[in-house]
Amino acid sequence: MASDTKSTLKPSIDAGPDLGVLRTVMAADRTLMAWIRTSLSMLSFGYTIYKVLQEIRELGSVPIHEEAPRNAGILLTVSGTVALVMGVAEYGVTLRLLRHSYPFRLARPSLIMSILLACAGVVLSVGIITRAL
């Protein structure tokens, strides 16, 4: 009889969130944010190089091949966009694996920002290719 009262008096522990999974999700968020920073640096540097080389070529002070500004800009902006897409793909795989252990929402702020930045990278690359910028 004494053992029955001990088991009923034992406090029930509410199973909270799986902290290991939450830490892994936060680490994946930080990794994606690093991809975002790298991509943003490549995109902005690509556009800057494109405009600077274009101005130098137009001034005629330094002989620069006609396609050099465009090619440099395209290389860096496309590389930045591809890097971000690779980061998003890696992030998606990680989150898909973690969702089997613990449910959480996929609409995470870092994912939303990376998708917006990838779209901006595509627009910037197309603008440089078509010389619209």
d(CA 84, CA 33): 10
Q: Which residues contact 130 (CB under 8 A, 6 or more apart)?
A: none
- pLDDT per residue as tens digits for the range 14-45: 666 678 888 988 999 999 999 999 999 999 99
Location of structure tokens 């969130």: 17
Closest CA to 80 of 51, 123, 112, 111: 123
Domain chopping of the chain, boundaries:
19-129
pLDDT band at 1 (very low <50, low <70, confident <90, very high): low
- Rounded to the nearest integer, the mean pLDDT of the chain is 85
| pLDDT surpassing 80 at residue 6 | no
Q: Determine contact, residues 47/77, Cβ cutoff 8 Å.
A: yes
Global pTM value:
0.76
Q: Determine contact, residues 35/86, Cβ cutoff 8 Å.
A: yes
